[in-house]
Amino acid sequence: MAIAQVLFPLMLPEPFDYEVPDTLSVRPGSYVRAPLGKQDRTGLVWRLSDAAPQRVLKPIQEVYPTPPMTETMRRFIAFAARYNVVAPGQVLAMALRARGGLQPSPERTVYTLGDRAPQRLTPARTAVLEYARTQPALSASALATGAGVSTGVVKGLADAGALVAAAEPVDRVFATPDPDRTGFQLSAEQADAANTLRQAVQKGQFAPILLDGVTGSGKTEVYFEAIAAALKQDPTSQILVLLPEIALTQAVLERFERRFGAAPAPWHSGLSEQQRRRSWREVAHGRARIIVGARSALFLPFQSLKLIIVDEEHDTSYKQEDGVTYQARDMAVMRAKLEQAVIVLASATPALETVVNVEQGRYARLKLSARPGSARLPDVELVDLRAAPPERGQWLSPQLRHALADTLEASEQALLFLNRRGYAPLVLCKSCGERLKSPATDSWLTEHRYTGRLVCHLTGWSMPKPAHCPYCHAEGSLMGVGPGVERVAEEVRVLLPGARVEIFSSDTALGGEATREIISRMASGDIDVLIGTQIVAKGHNFPNLTLVGIIDADSGLQGGDLRAGERTYQLLSQVAGRAGRAERPGRALVQTYQPDNPAMQALALSDRDAFLAIERDVREELQLPPFGRMAALILSAPDAETAVTFGQQIARAAPNGENITVYGPAPAPIGILRGRHRFRFLITAPKQVDLSAYMAAWLSRLKLPAALRLSADIDPYSFL
Ligand code: ADP
């Protein structure tokens, strides 16, 4: 008898044994249903063996009609679980995030014209038949709506044999992309890079490549050539393109569609249940060829993954911070290695980790140094706010005010960047001095004027702005402090009364449709001044945009994050890069109180490599990543006392390790979140130490009450 070890998508330490009935065809990687506790659950056959069972096993109930998960994918799940110190079942849960995808698509009835004419013809019947003649197979309601009649007429025609009913899957397969359509005429530099990528794809081996090119240099066009090569190379090949979630707009998907004549399979948090199961099923069956998705798309069960693109590879949103923490870019490199696939990391401001990998010979680098045609990079100028600050109560310096006026005078467009949503990031009582916080959370409330609410950006909690201070009850004493995009918009409207001013943030552009609308109005010149949060930083082309103003360049530099400077540099240079994309030269004014900071200097000189060199030396000196390893252990408890007591116990249980240092427990910067008290240990180690194994050993020594939560974060980024 065969025994199947079935892994469930749950936080369980290992797979469980089941009997394989003779009637079922079960293979390693098969998706099955099997009894677990009181119910049947979906799981995955992790291994099969012929050993005689030691006890009576329950049988597998059902095998799904999905091709088994490949061995490589199973190895990837095991690797990701080990590396990130979680149970393999937790990673499997990420790979199985569309249950409906395991079943064939549901069907619906559609109608086409039959060859029998109905005996009785009414005007309504004629309308339906005329309409059906011009259409592909349609549902009864679509036919009825198109012909302007009731569905009863359609049914009547079907009964009379004039329309023929057929069953059609609700989830359509994705159209096959065409690699032979031609893209742009590439510049010599672009063509060289495209050739190298093509050759790498044709070799069919693991190859990590950094595609390092300034914004607008055509990185997308170049990696399109690699995709075309992979499509041509092998009729089963699948290609995964990862993008930061925020960049996954309809406009980007349409660009793929224009190039390959078929829409790619999408994967992101905004998909409907139906879209999600459709993409999942088509990927798992190996039919979807190009998949464009956010970080979680990395865990889709591809059948034949040959090429991975990680666009904007430096973007910190690739780091998943909740639940299973992982760095999708780093995991993608590992997946490519297991799959023997090519991986292209594209960026104008690559992460220091990636640059060091290039320097040490692990990754190849392709450079694109110019924008195609006559488009030029913008001139960046620092505005020293110490020398020429804005007037009291304003946020735009005199220099930026003049530049704005000049830009509008010349009938050109401006973009102001401030990474703070709402009107004011802090609400203070003038009377008692109290600052308003979110309930049971150490986070200030932000004032939103348009909605009249105070909002916690961390937990989403909100309330109408009260008329009285909740602490001292003074009336009308609550005051917003500091600038948000709404307040900057107010200032610009006063400065330039005739200007068309709009705000672009996740509050004003909820969902794809609203985002597309605002981008298209900006692109067509219907907006004069766009004021946006980091949502504006990504990949939009605004041909008439010549001025970018950065309101508060220093805001990202605060906080103890080891990547704060790097992140500020990346974000600001990306925003500045929005100016002057087409024929018009652009300029960027960067308002700062720290003009001597290396990140600001590098921006002003457009000297990324000098900045990276300084960052590199600092990190090497301090043996911080990527020169040393780092992990965090996060403890959360319902009250501070429990957290402190167990914090000490956890500290005592830390295994000894040569050159491994454990710091903490220290209170987290946001010490209380949704009523839970949070502490953090930081662990540093030399590069050669297996820190994942160390963390796993530590966790396995601990027996903690259920109210306590403990999770490891390998290579932590931010920590709130
Ligand atoms: P990146 O990904 O490096 O920011 P894109 O690939 O988006 O750059 O290219 C920027 C703009 O320049 C896009 O509108 C793109 O269509 C255009 N472009 C890129 N390469 C060419 C080319 N060889 N000929 C014409 N237009 C090009």
Question: Minimal CA–CA distance to 647: which of 661, 665, 621, 673?
Answer: 665
Q: Which pLDDT does position 664 carry in this prediction?
A: 85
Q: Which of 210, 220, 259 to mutate to test the pocket of ligand 1 (most atoms within 8 A of CB)?
A: 220
**Residue 375 Cα, ligand 1 centroid: separation in angstroms?**
10
How confident is the model at residue 376, as a pLDDT? 65
Residue carrying the six token digits 């735009």: 396
Contacts for 390 with CB less than 8 Å, ≥ 6 apart: 396, 397, 398
Q: Whose CA is nearest to atom 10 of ligand 1?
A: 216
Compute, in angstroms, the gap from residue 218 CA to the centroid of ligand 1.
4
- pLDDT reported for residue 719: 60
Ligand 1 pocket member 216 (CB < 6 A) = yes
Q: Is 259 in the pocket of ligand 1 (CB under 6 A)?
A: no
Element (H, E) at 476: none
Quote the ligand 1 centre to 221 CA distance (angstroms). 6
Residue 9 is predicted with a pLDDT of: 97
CA of 382 to the centre of ligand 1 (A): 28
Contact 62, 691 (CB under 8 A): no
Please give the Cα distance from 602 to 372 (Å, whole number).
24
Q: Whose CA is nearest to atom 15 of ligand 1?
A: 218
> Which of 221, 344, 583 best tests ligand 1's pocket when mutated (most atoms within 8 Å of CB)?
221
The protein residue with its alpha carbon nearest to ligand 1, atom 18, reads 218
Give the integer Cα–Cα distance in Å for 439 and 445: 10
Structure tokens at 15: 């797979």
Calculate ∠ Cα 285-286-291, nearest 5°.
115
Strands of 219-270 (E only): list them. Answer: 238-242, 265-267
* Residue 187 in contact with ligand 1 by CB distance below 6 A: yes
Max Cα–Cα distance, the chain, nearest Å: 91
**Which tens digit of pLDDT belongs to each residue from 429-445?**
999 999 999 888 888 89
> What would the pLDDT profile of 582-631 be if each residue is shown by its tens digit?
567 789 999 999 999 988 998 898 888 989 999 999 899 989 999 999 99
Alpha-carbon distances of 96 from 10, 164, 236, 501, 714, rounded to whole Å: 11, 38, 22, 44, 23
Query: Kindly report the CA angle at 476 between 471 and 533, in degrees rounded to 5?
Result: 90
Q: What are phi and psi of 275, to 5 degrees?
A: -65, -35
The reported pLDDT for the residue numbered 334 is 98
Could you say which residues of the chain have pLDDT below 50? none
Residue with CA nearest ligand 1 atom 11: 216
578 C-alpha to ligand 1 centroid (Å): 13
With contact defined as beta carbons under 8 Å apart, do 286 and 221 qualify?
A: no
Q: Is 349 in the pocket of ligand 1 (CB under 6 A)?
A: no
How far away, in angstroms, is 180 Cα from ligand 1 center? 19
Residue 220 CB less than 6 A away from ligand 1: yes
pTM over 0.85: yes
pLDDT at 537: 78
| Cα torsion through 325, 245, 91, 29, rounded to 10 | -160
Task: Kindly state the tokens that stand for 354.
Answer: 């990636």
Per-residue pLDDT at 401:
97
Taking phi first (over 0 means left), then psi (-120 to 50 degrees means alpha), and beta for anything else, what does residue 393 get?
Answer: left
- By alpha-carbon position, which residue is closest to atom 20 of ligand 1? 218
Residue 318 is encoded by which pair of tokens? 């690739």
